[in-house]
C-alpha cells in the first residue's frame, strides 16, 4: 500500500512520520508527477486551507485530485484538509474540493489561544487524544455522512464513502489508531 501526503504547506511531515511508524510506503505529493505516480490513498494535512487551495491550483493538482477523489480515491483530511474537502464553509461563499457533504465553520474554536487538547470517543476506536489548533468543526451534514466523534456535542470527525475528515490533529499524538482506521478504510 502506498499513501500520498499532500506536502504543499502545513503539517504534512507529522502525517508522514505516523504512517512510517505503521510501516506504510509514503510519498510526498508536491507536483502532478508525484500524484500520477500512483497511490492507494491521500492525506490532506492541516495548515492554511486558502493557501493550500491556491497552491493546488498553481501546481495543477486541483482538478486531478478532485477527479480522483470523486472516482473513489480514499482521502483523509485533517483540520484544513477537512475544510478543503467540505462542500460548504459557513459564512464563506468559497468552497474548495467539494467532496463531502458537510458544512464547516473555520476557526470555530477561536484563534491560536483557543487551541486545546482533550480525550473523546471515536467510533470504532474508543477514547483517543485529540489536539485542536485553530480548528474548524462540522456545523451541519447530509444524511450520507456518518459522524465518528463529538466533543461537547459538536461534531469533530466524520466519514462518507472513502472520505475521512477530522477537526483535530491525530498526527500530533503518539496514538496511531486514527491513521490505522484510514488505512483500514482503504483495504476494506
Residues with catalytic roles: 79, 169, 171
CA–CA distance from 58 to each of 32, 55, 63, 99 (Å)? Answer: 11, 5, 11, 20
Q: Judge whether 176 and 21 are in contact, CB under 8 Å.
A: yes
What is the per-residue DSSP string for 142-162? -TT-EEEEEETTEEEEEEETT
Q: Return d(Cα 175, Cα 179) in angstroms, integer.
A: 9
Looking at residue 174, what DSSP letter applies? S
Q: Return d(Cα 116, Cα 61) in angstroms, integer.
A: 32
Q: Return d(Cα 36, Cα 4) in angstroms, integer.
A: 10
Amino acid at each position: 500500500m502506498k499513501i500520498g501526503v499532500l506536502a504543499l504547506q502545513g503539517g504534512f511531515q507529522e502525517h508522514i512520520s505516523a504512517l512510517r511508524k505503521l510501516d506504510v510506503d509514503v510519498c510526498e505529493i508536491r507536483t502532478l508527477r508525484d500524484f500520477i505516480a500512483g497511490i492507494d490513498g491521500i492525506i490532506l494535512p492541516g495548515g492554511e486551507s486558502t493557501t493550500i487551495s491556491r497552491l493546488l491550483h498553481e501546481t495543477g493538482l486541483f482538478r486531478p485530485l478532485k477527479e480522483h477523489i470523486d472516482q473513489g480515491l480514499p482521502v483523509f483530511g485533517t483540520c484544513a484538509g477537512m475544510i478543503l474537502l467540505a462542500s460548504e464553509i459557513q459564512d464563506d461563499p468559497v468552497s474548495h474540493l467539494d467532496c463531502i457533504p458537510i458544512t464547516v465553520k473555520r476557526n470555530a474554536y477561536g484563534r491560536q489561544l483557543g487551541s486545546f487538547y482533550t480525550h473523546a470517543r471515536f467510533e470504532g476506536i474508543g477514547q483517543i487524544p485529540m489536539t485542536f489548533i485553530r480548528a474548524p468543526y462540522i456545523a451541519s451534514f447530509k444524511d450520507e455522512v456518518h459522524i465518528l466523534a463529538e466533543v461537547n456535542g459538536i461534531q469533530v470527525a466524520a466519514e462518507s464513502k472513502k472520505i475521512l475528515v477530522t477537526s483535530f490533529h491525530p498526527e500530533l499524538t503518539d496514538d496511531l489508531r486514527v491513521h490505522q482506521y484510514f488505512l483500514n478504510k482503504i483495504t476494506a
